[in-house]
């Protein structure tokens, strides 16, 4: 259970850094320029990645795929899902967990007591 919780926090942290972190700000802005430039080659790909990296739920799905393939697969080790497809369900699990964590954090930010 501790490993699953740590995996959720790792997926949330990685997604949060990708979507909101200042370290990836230039990367996000570059993708946005590429996606909005009508004359750029593969403009649709730039638009796709620009939209992907601006959404917590979308980013966390791909982060879950990555974590499941290369770090640890909760669906394989904890739930016994076939290893050939467990990475797919890891993406879904990460998306749901990150969405839940992010929703709780946003609720606390919106309902912060005023001075």
Residue ranges covered by each domain of the chain: 2-110
Q: How far apart are the first and last CA of the chain?
A: 39
pLDDT at position 39: 87
Whether pTM > 0.75 for this model: the answer is yes
pLDDT in tens, 27-52: 999 988 888 888 888 888 888 888 88
Between the CA of residue 55 and those of 19, 50, 81, 99, 115, what are the distances in Å? 7, 9, 27, 10, 31
Structure confidence by residue, pLDDT tens digits, 58-105: 999 999 999 999 999 999 998 899 989 999 999 999 999 999 999 999
- From the list 16, 106, 102, 7, the residue with the least C-alpha distance to 59 is 16
């Amino acid at each position: 259970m501790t490993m699953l919780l740590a995996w959720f926090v790792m997926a949330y942290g990685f997604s949060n850094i990708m979507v909101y972190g200042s370290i990836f700000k230039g990367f996000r802005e570059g993708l946005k320029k590429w996606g909005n430039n009508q004359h750029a080659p593969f403009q649709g790909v730039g638009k796709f990645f620009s939209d992907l990296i601006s959404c917590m739920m979308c980013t966390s799905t791909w982060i879950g795929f990555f974590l499941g393939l290369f770090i640890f697969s909760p669906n394989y080790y904890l739930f016994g899902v076939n290893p050939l497809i467990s990475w797919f369900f890891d993406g879904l699990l990460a998306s749901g967990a990150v969405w839940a964590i992010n929703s709780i954090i946003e609720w606390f930010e919106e309902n912060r007591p005023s001075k």
